[in-house]
C-alpha cells in the first residue's frame, strides 16, 4: 500500500513559456567556449575577480553548501522533446544499475546489480516531491529515471501510488527493461501512465557489447520480459531504441530489433543516438538522416527523438535556489547552458554566472561533445 501523506493533491500551477532570447543564448555559448579554450587560465582570487570576492573568495564554500542543499531525490524540471518539462525522481544511488551501457551519459556503472531493495526511503522521496510540486510550476510529467535503474527499487509500486495520491500530473517510468522478466517488477509498474523501456540490440552479441548486463540477465530473458510486459501493461508504452555507429547501425541488426518490436504491444518506437558524452569513447552517434531511413523497417509508429539542437521556447526566468537546482540536475544528466536555462526557468546569462562559481568551487566541470559544451556534476550524491 502506498504511504499515506496528509494534505490535498497538488494540481495548481501551469508550465510557463516565452521566447528565450537568442542574444542571451549566444552569450552563454561564447562564455562556455572561452572557458574550455583556456583550461590553464589562473583561477580568480578574492578581490581580483571580475565579479569580486563572491566568485573568488567564497566560491568554494558556496559550492560545498550548494552540494549539501541540493535536493536528494527530486531534480529538474528537465527539458525533454518527448515529455515536455519533466520533474525527475531518483530512486537509487548514483550509477546503481543492472547494465553498464557503453553510451551512458553518467559514466561507468559502479554498482552493477539485480538486487532489488528500498535503496531510498519512500516517505522521504514523496515528501521532497511534494515540496517541489508546491514550489514549481506544474510539470508536464513526473519521471522516475535519474542516475540508475529505477526498477531496482523494491517499493516502486508504493512510490507510484504515493505520487498518484499527491497530484494528477502523469507519471512516466524510464527503464532499461532488464528486469521485466520478474513478475514483481511488472506488477510494480502497473500504476504508471507511461513506461519507456529500452531495447538497444537485436541479438546476444550486440546486447553484451552495448549493454554489458549483470551476469544473471540474458538476452532471451530480457527480450521475453519486454514482450510479456507489453501485453500486461494498460498504460502507454514507448520503446526507445538507441543506435550506435559501427555497432548496431547495420540493416540486419535493425531488422532483428524490429522483429522483436513486432511481438510487443507498443504505442510507438523512438529512435535515438548518442548526444551527450558517453561512458565509452567507442560509442559513436549516427546521423539524423540515417535514423530517418531506419524508421521504414518498423511496422508500428516510429519517430526520431535524437537531440539536434535546443528546444524551442523557454520559460520566464526564475532565480531562487538557482545554483542548488543546477547542481541537482547536472549530477544526474550532463546539460548545456541552453538546456539548463530552458529546464530550470533561468536566463542563459544567469546560468553562465552560476556555472562560473560552481566550476571555480569544483562542483561542476565542462566537457565537450562534438560541437556542444556540456556541464556535469563532480560528486557522487549518496
Provide the residue ranges of all domains of the chain, joining segments of one domain with +: 1-382
The Cα-based distances of 141 to 53, 118, 194 in angstroms read 40, 23, 10
- Which CATH fold would you assign to the domain 1-382? TIM Barrel (3.20.20)
- Between 323 and 253, the more confident residue is 253
Average pLDDT over residues 235-248: 97
Least confident range from 19-23, 129-133, 282-286: namely 19-23
121: CB partners within 8 A, 6+ apart: none
Average pLDDT over residues 218-227: 98
Q: For residue 209, what pLDDT band results from cuts at 50, 70 and 90?
A: very high
User: Cα-flanking dihedrals φ and ψ of residue 181, to 5°?
Assistant: -75, -10
pLDDT tens digit sequence for 330-351:
887 788 888 888 777 777 777 8
143 closest CA partner among 329, 7, 372: 329
Query: Is the pTM of the predicted complex or chain greater than 0.85?
Result: no
pLDDT tens digit sequence for 270-293:
999 998 889 898 899 999 999 999
Q: Is 10 within 8 Å of 133 (Cβ atoms)? A: yes
Whether the per-residue pLDDT at 29 is higher than 90: the answer is no
Ordered alpha helix ranges (H), the chain: 22-37, 53-56, 59-69, 122-135, 156-166, 183-188, 204-210, 219-232, 251-262, 288-294, 322-330, 337-344, 348-360
Least confident range from 190-194, 260-264, 355-359: namely 355-359
376/363 Cα distance (integer angstroms): 9
pLDDT tens digit sequence for 96-121:
999 999 999 888 999 999 999 999 99
- Between 56 and 336, the more confident residue is 336
The secondary structure of residue 174, as a DSSP letter, is E
Inter-helix orientation angle 219-232/251-262, to 10°: 40
For residues 48-65, one letter each, b for 16 or more C-beta atoms within 10 angstroms of the residue's C-beta and e for the rest, the string is ebeeeeebbbbbeebbee
Please tell me whether the peptide bond between 77 and the residue prior to it is cis, using omega within 30 degrees of 0.
yes
SS3 226: helix
Amino acid at each position: 500500500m502506498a504511504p499515506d501523506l496528509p494534505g490535498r493533491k497538488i494540481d495548481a500551477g501551469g508550465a510557463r513559456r516565452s521566447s528565450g532570447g537568442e542574444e542571451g543564448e549566444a552569450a552563454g555559448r561564447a562564455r562556455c567556449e572561452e572557458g574550455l579554450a583556456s583550461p590553464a587560465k589562473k583561477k580568480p582570487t578574492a578581490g581580483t575577480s571580475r565579479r569580486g570576492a563572491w566568485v573568488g573568495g567564497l566560491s568554494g564554500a558556496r559550492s560545498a553548501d550548494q552540494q549539501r542543499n541540493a535536493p536528494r531525490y527530486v531534480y529538474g524540471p528537465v527539458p525533454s522533446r518527448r515529455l515536455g518539462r519533466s520533474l525527475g525522481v531518483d530512486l537509487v544511488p548514483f550509477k546503481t544499475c543492472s547494465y553498464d551501457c557503453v553510451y551512458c551519459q553518467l559514466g561507468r556503472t559502479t554498482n552493477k546489480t539485480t538486487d532489488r531493495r528500498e535503496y531510498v526511503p519512500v516517505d522521504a522521496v514523496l515528501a521532497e516531491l511534494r515540496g517541489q510540486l508546491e514550489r514549481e510550476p506544474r510539470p508536464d510529467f513526473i519521471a522516475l529515471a535519474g542516475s540508475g535503474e529505477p526498477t531496482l527499487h523494491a517499493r516502486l509500486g508504493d512510490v507510484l501510488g504515493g505520487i498518484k495520491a499527491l497530484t494528477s500530473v502523469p507519471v512516466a517510468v524510464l527503464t532499461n527493461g532488464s528486469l521485466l522478466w520478474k513478475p514483481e517488477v511488472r506488477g510494480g509498474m502497473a500504476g504508471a501512465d507511461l513506461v519507456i523501456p529500452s531495447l538497444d540490440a537485436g541479438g546476444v552479441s550486440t546486447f553484451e557489447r552495448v549493454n554489458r548486463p549483470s551476469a544473471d540477465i540474458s538476452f532471451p530473458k530480457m527480450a521475453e520480459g519486454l514482450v510479456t510486459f507489453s501485453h500486461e501493461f494498460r498504460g502507454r508504452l514507448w520503446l526507445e531504441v538507441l543506435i550506435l555507429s559501427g555497432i548496431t547501425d547495420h540493416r540486419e541488426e535493425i531488422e532483428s530489433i524490429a522483429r522483436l518490436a513486432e511481438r510487443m504491444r507498443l504505442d510507438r518506437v523512438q529512435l535515438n543516438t548518442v548526444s551527450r558524452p558517453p561512458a565509452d569513447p567507442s560509442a559513436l552517434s549516427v546521423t539524423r538522416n540515417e535514423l530517418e531511413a531506419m524508421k521504414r523497417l518498423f511496422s508500428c509508429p516510429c519517430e526520431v527523438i535524437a537531440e539536434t539542437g535546443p528546444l524551442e521556447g523557454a520559460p520566464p526566468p526564475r532565480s531562487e535556489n538557482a545554483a542548488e537546482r543546477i547542481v541537482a540536475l547536472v549530477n544526474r544528466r550532463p546539460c548545456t547552458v541552453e538546456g539548463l536555462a530552458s529546464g530550470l526557468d533561468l536566463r542563459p546569462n544567469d546560468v553562465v554566472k552560476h556555472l562560473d562559481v560552481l566550476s571555480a568551487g569544483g562542483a561542476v566541470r565542462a566537457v565537450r561533445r562534438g560541437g556542444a559544451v556540456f556541464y556535469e556534476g563532480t560528486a557522487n550524491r549518496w
